[in-house]
Amino acid sequence: GNTPVSAPTATQTSGIDIPAPTPGNIVRLEVEVGDTIAKEQTLLVMEAMKMESEVKSPQAGVVQAVHVQAGNTVQTGDALLTLRG
């Protein structure tokens, strides 16, 4: 059988960084490197101003790298993790 070949895109090689939506603290990670995730899946939970918020995946993919751990403080735009599409 023939396997359809999809055109290579930038996301397949370099991955995309998931930025922190707000400054805050990392409460817990819900995924780890190598996990296959779905669009809108919760990647991690952050706390800002005593409110917990979930950071969700913008697309389906595989977790390529995790740049933070529980207890870390991040600023808006900091890369939390990298997905490979």
Partners of 79 in beta bridges: 19
What is d(CA 51, CA 10) in angstroms, rounded to the nearest whole number?
35
pTM for the full model?
0.80
- Return the CATH architecture of domain 23-84: Beta Barrel (2.40)
At 8 the pLDDT is 52
Judged by DSSP in three states, 11 sits in helix
Indicate the burial class of 20 (C-beta count within 10 angstroms; 0-12, 13-18, 19 or more): buried
Q: Assess whether pLDDT exceeds 80 at residue 12.
A: no
Q: Give percent above pLDDT 70 in the chain.
A: 85
At 32 the pLDDT is 97
What is d(CA 78, CA 41) in angstroms, rounded to the nearest whole number?
19
Contact 65, 15 (CB under 8 A): yes
Summarised one tens digit per residue, pLDDT across range 62-85 is 999 999 999 999 999 999 999 998
